[in-house]
Amino acid sequence: EDKVVQSPLSLVVHEGDTVTLNCSYEVTNFRSLLWYKQEKKAPTFLFMLTSSGIEKKSGRLSSILDKKELFSILNITATQTGDSAIYLCAVEERGAQKLVFGQGTRLTINP
Amino acid sequence: GAVVSQHPSWVICKSGTSVKIECRSLDFQATTMFWYRQFPKQSLMLMATSNEGSKATYEQGVEKDKFLINHASLTLSTLTVTSAHPEDSSFYICSARGGTGDEQYFGPGTRLTVT
């Protein structure tokens, strides 16, 4: 059974700090790993990763995938209070259509 | 990016009644739609996958007779919670994709409270 595990489950830091969120997975036939940000409503898409070692970057957020060690990290630099949210990692299996989500990391940025 | 809407955004109903939630893809044709449920402080759990014109595929543990899914057109899927009970209170989120390999776009979610 496909499994996605995120750590830490909860993280509280001060504004300006850099954070690293982790996602490890077990999937039979990996196709892609996705990161989402969820505030009060439904998740919003951040990144899709399919290849190992290639960093994807969007502003202060970046993410990278290691397909050998079966994990991904999401980095946020110079955090702001608006970064407070739940960050979800999901994995898609090749051939299947569905996403399997991890438990999420609840990130709180204090001013 | 593609837009997916849900209606209603929140609903309160009495125990024993049925509730229908709509999910629409506004600017693309969704060959596949997904329904998720999210309980407080938990992650999204996939309930079912529906392809236009065919029966939905339900995840293990999800009662298909209780959660009726219809995907009658390429832009609309509905989830009906039949004979709702307080334990069905949750945040229901749909997502849609245009084709295999495409990104999933999430709707804003529907918060259901059963009293």
Per the CB < 8 A criterion, the answer to whether A23 and A73 are in contact is yes
Note the pLDDT of residue B100: 59
Residue A95 has pLDDT above 80, yes or no: no
pLDDT digits (tens, 9 = 90+) for B83-101: 999 999 999 999 998 765 6
Mean per-residue pLDDT for A81-94?
Answer: 94
Give residue ranges of A with CB < 8 Å to any B CB. 36, 41-45, 48, 88, 90, 97-104, 106
Cβ within 8 Å, pair B109-A98: no
Cβ within 8 Å, pair B104-A48: no
CA distance B42 to chain A (A): 6
Between the alpha carbon of residue B107 and those of residues A1, A5, A58, A73, the distances in Å are: 27, 24, 22, 26
Note the pLDDT of residue B2: 80
According to DSSP, residue A63 is labeled E
Cβ within 8 Å, pair B93-A42: yes
Q: Which of B1, B32, B42 sits opposite A97 (nearest CB)?
A: B32
Contacts of A42 in chain B (CB under 8 A): 93, 106-109
pLDDT digits (tens, 9 = 90+) for A41-71: 888 989 999 989 999 999 999 999 999 999 9
Note the pLDDT of residue B89: 96
Residue A110 has pLDDT above 90, yes or no: yes
Q: What is the largest CA-CA distance in chain A?
A: 44
Tell me how many degrees the CA angle B80-B81-B86 measures, rounded to the nearest 5.
160
Residue of chain B whose alpha carbon sits nearest to that of A42? B108
Residue A1 has pLDDT above 80, yes or no: no
Note the pLDDT of residue B101: 60
Note the pLDDT of residue A28: 84
| pLDDT string in tens for chain B (115-residue length) | 688 999 999 999 999 999 999 999 998 888 899 999 999 888 899 999 998 888 899 999 999 999 999 988 899 999 999 999 999 999 999 999 876 567 788 999 999 999 9
CA distance A48 to chain B (A): 9
Separation CA A104–CA A89 (nearest Å): 7
CA distance A63 to chain B (A): 17
CA distance B79 to chain A (A): 17
